[in-house]
Structure 1
Amino acid sequence: MTAMGTREALVCAAENLMRSKGYAAFSYADLVDTVGIKKASIHHHFPTKEDLGVAIVEAYIDRVRIDFERIEQLHQDLEGRLKAFFLAFSASSEGGLLPLCGALAAEMAALPVGLQRLTHHFFDLQLKWLTKIFDVGVVNGEIPAVPGTRQKAFQLLSALEGASFINWALKDGETLDWSFVRLVAGLAK
């Protein structure tokens, strides 16, 4: 494995562990088993677990930003953008995994300060983007302005995150459906 390949494999494996076990519950020993390298090699790439956690969340945020840009390019209307967001969010919870920053938020008090800041930043990023697309929907007459667009964004993200935790705990495969998203957004008629 190349150095970059090893680093990417560690980030990928650790992300899955964080999303299935939580930040506090996984260790470099788990990565030794999963990636198949020595603990010293892991420390070479990520001297501390916080360094690894920060790399994971920063990479995740970058992927989400790219997804937001792609959604805006591919969909001009609010419904199309929300549907793409909903599908991407739903896909992120497949395979028994929690959304990454939701999993981190559940452990917020136990996280190192750097990860707390990144978790906060990620939720803020999502809320700002959802608020922005709701604002455009109001301007375009696609949805009413009441309640405010920030409140709609908060309600939608809260419902999706909450549903992912309930589904994860029950492991019954039940999730929110698109009609709920339409209702929260004010698209349901």
Structure 2
Amino acid sequence: MSTRSDLLTSAEILLRTKGYAAFSYADLAEDIGIKKASIHHHFPTKESLAIAIVESYLFRFKNQLECINDENTGIIDRLNAFALMFAQSSKNAMLPLCGALAAELLALPESLKELTRDFFEIHLNWLQANIALGQAAGELKAELDGVKVARFILNTLEGGSFVSWALSDNYEQSSGFDFILDGLRVTETHH
């Protein structure tokens, strides 16, 4: 592992646990055992470090969404796999990166505000596309408003992460995602 990637990994954890405003290069230096000056060599400013974290995360996240699409033909399976990403970050006692950033939106520099908005758009666009596919395939109720449903799913998963974070409880058992899926599914009618 290179120092740069160690820095990104460690800083991402700090961002998702302490938050942007609260973590410092001193925390980072202590965490990976290098001098603060060495961090400045790689990332002259905290903003440049945070942008690198988000860009690297977005790259992985987009790949993850593509993998979900490649590995699951059924839309319900895709949505469950999407929800699992939130459960995993909760299991690791971290907030989802986009949620952690959004919580501090006013403290963020403009460049990070933009990236945070893009990040949420990527979630919503992926959800909307899959909801439309699910409706076309007859898996999901055709009458549902895909834009609102995508927002509702994201609101629930992000919100669930914060509630679990505050209560230190089991996210998967309490996210309520199963209720959403039950409401989206086309139910078989027997005549």
TM-score (normalised: structure 1): 0.93
Within 1, Cα distance between the matches of 2:48 and 2:96?
A: 20
Judge conservation of contact 1:179–1:188 (CA < 8 Å) in 2.
no
**Match among 77, 100, 105 for residue 102 of structure 2:** 105
Alignment of 1:20-169 (within 5 A): 20-169=17-166
**Which residue of 2 is the match for residue 176 of structure 1?**
175
Give the letter aligned to residue 187 of structure 1. R
How big is the shift at 1:162?
0.5
Q: Secondary structure of the equivalent of 1:93?
A: helix
Within 1, Cα distance between the matches of 2:177 and 2:105?
A: 29
Within 1, Cα distance between the matches of 2:101 and 2:179?
A: 25
Within 1, Cα distance between the matches of 2:90 and 2:169?
A: 13
Q: Secondary structure of the equivalent of 2:23?
A: coil
Within 2, Cα distance between the matches of 1:188 and 1:12?
A: 42
How big is the shift at 1:181?
3.8
How big is the shift at 1:177?
4.7
Give the letter aligned to residue 79 of structure 2. L
**What percentage of residue pairs aligned between the two structures are identical?**
48
Judge conservation of contact 1:101–1:119 (CA < 8 Å) in 2.
yes
Judge conservation of contact 2:140–2:186 (CA < 8 Å) in 1.
no
Within 1, Cα distance between the matches of 2:41 and 2:179?
A: 46
Where in structure 1 do 4 or more consecutive aligned residues deviate above 2 Å? 172-175
Q: Which runs of 5+ in 1 are unaligned?
A: none
Within 2, Cα distance between the matches of 1:136 and 1:95?
A: 32
TM-score (normalised: structure 2): 0.92
Residue deviations 1:144-180 (CA, integer Å, cap 9, x gap)? 1333111111000000100100111111224315513
Q: Which runs of 5+ in 2 are unaligned?
A: none
Matched, 1:12 2:9: yes
How big is the shift at 1:188?
7.0
After superposing the two structures, state which structure 1 stretch, 144-153 or 44-53, moved more.
144-153
**Which residue of 2 is the match for residue 187 of structure 1?**
185
How big is the shift at 1:93?
2.0
Within 2, Cα distance between the matches of 1:46 and 1:183?
A: 46
Within 1, Cα distance between the matches of 2:177 and 2:160?
A: 13
After superposing the two structures, state which structure 1 stretch, 159-168 or 79-88, moved more.
79-88
